[in-house]
Amino acid sequence: MGLGIIGWIIIGIIAGWLAEKVMGRSHGLVTNLIVGVIGALLGGWIAGQFLGMAVGGFNIMTLLVAFLGACLLLFLLGLVKRRG
C-alpha cells in the first residue's frame, strides 16, 4: 500500500525534523517538510538503485530511508553553501 499525501506529509515532517536535529540545523516546519519529502525521494532512489530495496508504505523502513536521505540532502546543501 502506497503513501497518500497525508502519509508523505507526516513522514516528511518527522524525517526532516529528525535530520534537522542530527545535522545541527534550525529550520521551520515547512522547511522540515520539504527536506523530509525530498530526502525520502533521494533516499528511496538510492535504496532502489544501489541496494536493490523497494521502500514504500507507512512503516519504519520508509521513515529510516527518508531520514537518511534528508541527512544526506542537508549535508550536500552544507557543502554547496560553504563553496558559495
Q: Could you tell me if residue 59 is left (phi over 0), alpha (psi between -120 and 50 degrees) or otherwise beta? A: beta
Q: How far apart are CA 69 and CA 17, in angstroms?
A: 12
pLDDT tens for 8-59 read 888 889 999 999 999 998 888 899 889 999 998 898 889 888 888 877 777 8
Q: How far apart are CA 3 and CA 60, in angstroms?
A: 13
Confidence of residue 1 (pLDDT cuts 50, 70, 90): low
Place of cell 525521494: 41
For the full predicted model, state whether its pTM sits above 0.95: no
Is 50 within 8 Å of 65 (Cβ atoms)?
no
Q: Which residues contact 79 (CB under 8 A, 6 or more apart)?
A: none
